[in-house]
Amino acid sequence: MFESLNDPVDVLTAFLEGGFEPLRFRWKGKVVRIRKVTGRWSRREGQAVLRYFAVEGGNDDTYELCYDPRGPRWILSRAWNGVA
């Protein structure tokens, strides 16, 4: 099932062609390599525009990461923990 987390995480980020996307992040002591970015969206919170990425890890695990420019910081907002 999905777990709502809102955990701050360290994210290795690539800045490409005026945009950016997460490559890997560390969570619970493990490094998760991002195999694919499956979705992107953004939302406004006051003046800040938060960028969201739905990503796929290596073992059918999926996550939603949020880049909050006010930190700046990355937040792991949601994870699929593999239990149906």
Partner 1 sequence: MILLIDMDAFFASVEQAHHPHLRGRPVIVCGDPGRRGVVTAASYEARPSGVHAGMPLQEARRLCPEAEYVEGNPEKYVGISLQLLDLYLRHSPDVEPFSVDEAFVGLFGPRVTFESAIEVARTIQSEVAERFGLGASIGIAPNKLIAKMAAGSRKPRGLTPMDPPAFRDTFWPLDIQELWGVGPQLATRMRSLGISTVGELARAPDPVLSAAFGIIGPQLKQAANGEDDAPLIPYHQGVDAKSMGHEVTLSEDCADAGFLDGTLLRLSDQVARRLRGEGYVGRVVAIKLRTHRFATTIRQRALDDFTDDHLRIYEVARALLAANWKGESLRLIGVSVSSLARRGEAVQSDLFERRTRDLALRAALDRVRDRLGEASLVPAGSLRHQRSLGHVPFGAMSSAHRVKSRLSTADSDPPTTPCPKTPLGF
Helix (H, G, I), strand (E, B) or coil at 83: coil
Q: What is the DSSP letter of 34?
A: P
> Which residue carries 């593999």 as its tokens?
82
x/- mask, partner 1, residues 6-35, rule CB under 8 A, reads x---x-x----------xx-x----x----
Answer yes or no whether residue 4 interacts with partner 1 by CB under 8 A. yes
Q: Count how many Cα atoms sit within 13 Å of the Cα of residue 57 in the half-sphere of its side chain.
A: 20
Site for partner 1, rule CB under 8 A: 1-2, 4, 6, 10, 12, 23-24, 26, 31, 38-39, 41-43, 45-48, 52, 54, 56, 60, 62, 64, 71, 80, 84
